[in-house]
Amino acid sequence: MTTLLLAGGTVVAGPDAAPTRADVLVRDGIVAETAPALDAAGADRIDCTGRVVLPGFVDAHSHADGVAHTEDVQLANLRQGVTTVIAGQDGVGQAPGDGTYADAYFGALNGANPRYRGDGVAGLLASYDGVGSLNVGYLVPAGTVRHEVLGLDRRRPSGDELRRMVELVDAGMRQGALGLSTGLDYVPGIFADADELAALCGPVARHDGVHVSHMRGGYEHAAPSGISELRTIAELSGVRTHVSHFHGPADLIRSLVAEFAASSDVTFDAYPYRRSCTLLAMPLLPPELLELGTQEVTGHLRDPERRAALVRSYGPVIAARPDMAATWPERTTLVHVGDAEHAWTAGMTLAAAAARLGRDPLDLGYELLGRSALQVSAVIATPVQRGVDELASIFTDPRHVAGSDGIYVGAHPHPRGWGTFARFLRLHTRERGDYDLPTAVGHLSTTAARAFRLGRRGRVEPGWVADLAVIDVERLQDRADYGSPRQPAEGIDDVVVAGEHVLADGRLTGIPAGRGVRRECDAKRGHR
């Protein structure tokens, strides 16, 4: 393997370490030594003068499942210093099973992994080995597990069925999964109660994994009920908990997390943007329709009469929801539309597309979903727009880690996949001073590496895995915005993954150092 010398920079070893002028010597994928003026004959040299060497960042919530191998997604992450992404989110992923359910339901979010052959979590993790330059960790998706045993049936599982579901989770954990994800607003996860979920979390707790949850019933002021259910699951199973994309009033979030942390190990992720991105079917379709399956729902939405009836019956329900209200078509920007005839609508609000066609926005939304076999996603600006000070109060909670919720499928995606980590460093570190550099390392790397049991990642110290980002703090800039979302960040031009120089001068080197990251139960050892 390559021997590297990262010379002349300032090293921030971890959240408890002051910035120190030092060189970093890397051998066999591991940090071998850190000290001033190291002499390493024959080593490939990276000049870090005027820059800072940090541990590679961990994206705690990513939808790069099927696209992590693409150049676009590798650059989106590496140019922000991200070396590891956590996939299998929201209870839906390709493994276990053959991937058909996940591709049909979450294809507009995750994409489809072309190397997965239906051979379970072990096969999925292997599909990331030596293919690209990103590390990919995976969570066993509880919705996929339920679908494997019960399909889309909303009933409670029998004793035998529940045992089969638990066996699938246990197998996934034994094969290297980091934990279990639940998506309790998605079908069929929405049909699982706390007792069922606690049973699935049993093997997760035994393997020292983590339960990662998109909570039930929305967030914001409804968050207390969602957190209460997660606390019940943790109490029944003993599992550690991580809350996905936690948003709401800052005081409420901090108090709920503090109360949870008094009795259990809990972390959460949140991103520094004020708009969300999701499947269009999620806010527009009733769950009882989605449980019929993609083919039947698609047929329903392609029928003008049944579509019109749904507009009449469910339109008022949508308009009455606090997160939607009357202006939702103006606040909903189409990201990906699977139907080629209407692909031109990507980047337009649903209201603008409907006006161009002389259509009712909800009826058009339903037709797009029908024509696209539900493969439609959208960015939604919520009615509540929090200021930067309130967001900073959330981000500075010690249990917070960075998660982009990055979705890379679509002609006009949310910019968070290209800018989350750069924005934390630019806005909340350099400009506002909410974080100093060591504290930023904790939020962007070390805490997540520990929570997800990624082994000896998240520090720049001898014996630790050499996933490293070299950052020009003064030049750092997130360039992606809602108008031009696919713009890579600036100021991070050199990144090392597993001791290999995968990003040099801002360009991919083509070295396939990434791998599927298997859970490391013993934090003193690391996967190499």
Decide if pLDDT at 507 tops 60.
Answer: yes
Mean pLDDT of 444-455: 97
Instruction: Record the tokens describing residue 274, joined without a space.
Output: 């004020």
Q: Which band of pLDDT confidence, cut at 50, 70 and 90, is reported for residue 67?
A: very high
| pLDDT at residue 287, as a whole number | 86
Decide if pLDDT at 521 tops 70.
Answer: no
Q: What does the pLDDT look like over 73-84, one tens digit per residue?
A: 999 999 999 999
| pLDDT at residue 385, as a whole number | 77
CA distance 407 to 415: 9
| pLDDT at residue 455, as a whole number | 95
Task: Tell the CATH topology of 56-277+384-455.
Answer: TIM Barrel (3.20.20)
Q: Which band of pLDDT confidence, cut at 50, 70 and 90, is reported for residue 18?
A: very high
CA distance 178 to 323: 32
| pLDDT at residue 396, as a whole number | 97
CA distance 274 to 295: 34
Closest CA to 326 of 372, 354, 361: 361
| pLDDT at residue 217, as a whole number | 84
> SS3 sequence, 381-406?
ECCCCCCHHHHHHHHCCCCEEECCCE
Q: What does the pLDDT look like over 342-380, one tens digit per residue?
A: 999 999 999 999 999 999 999 999 999 999 999 999 999
Q: Which band of pLDDT confidence, cut at 50, 70 and 90, is reported for residue 422?
A: very high
Q: Which band of pLDDT confidence, cut at 50, 70 and 90, is reported for residue 320?
A: confident
| pLDDT at residue 323, as a whole number | 77
- Which letter does DSSP use for residue 293 in this model? -
Q: What does the pLDDT look like over 146-175, one tens digit per residue?
A: 999 999 999 999 999 999 999 999 999 999
Mean pLDDT of 445-461: 97
Decide if pLDDT at 451 tops 70.
Answer: yes
Query: Residue type at 491?
Result: G
What is the percentage of the chain residues whose pLDDT exceeds 70?
Answer: 98
| pLDDT at residue 527, as a whole number | 38
Give the CA-trace dihedral at 388, 108, 268, 489, to 10 degrees: -50
Q: In this structure, are residues 138 and 125 in contact, taking their beta carbons and an 8 Å threshold?
A: yes
| pLDDT at residue 1, as a whole number | 73
Decide if pLDDT at 476 tops 90.
Answer: yes
Stretch (H or E) spanning 139? strand 135-141
| pLDDT at residue 525, as a whole number | 38
CA distance 100 to 315: 30
| pLDDT at residue 522, as a whole number | 33
Tokens 């019109």 correspond to what residue? 308
The residues, ordered by sequence, that sit 6+ positions from 417 with a Cβ below 8 Å of its Cβ are 62, 64, 73, 76, 404, 406, 407, 408, 480, 485
Q: Which band of pLDDT confidence, cut at 50, 70 and 90, is reported for residue 321?
A: confident
Decide if pLDDT at 526 tops 70.
Answer: no
Predicted TM-score of the model (pTM): 0.96
Count of helix runs (H) and strand runs (E) in the chain: 18, 21
Which one is predicted more confidently, 154 or 322? 154
The residues, ordered by sequence, that sit 6+ positions from 207 with a Cβ below 8 Å of its Cβ are 170, 173, 174, 519, 521
Decide if pLDDT at 454 tops 50.
Answer: yes
Q: In this structure, are residues 173 and 204 in contact, taking their beta carbons and an 8 Å threshold?
A: yes
CATH 3.20.20.140: which residues of the chain? Answer: 56-277+384-455
Mean pLDDT of 235-262: 96
Max CA-CA distance within the chain? 76
Mean pLDDT estimate for the chain: 95
Q: Encode burial over 176-212: b for 16+ CB neighbours within 10 A, e otherwise.
A: bbbbbbbbbbbbbbbbbebebbbbbbbbbbebbbbbb
Mean pLDDT of 293-313: 94
Mean pLDDT of 101-126: 95
| pLDDT at residue 523, as a whole number | 35
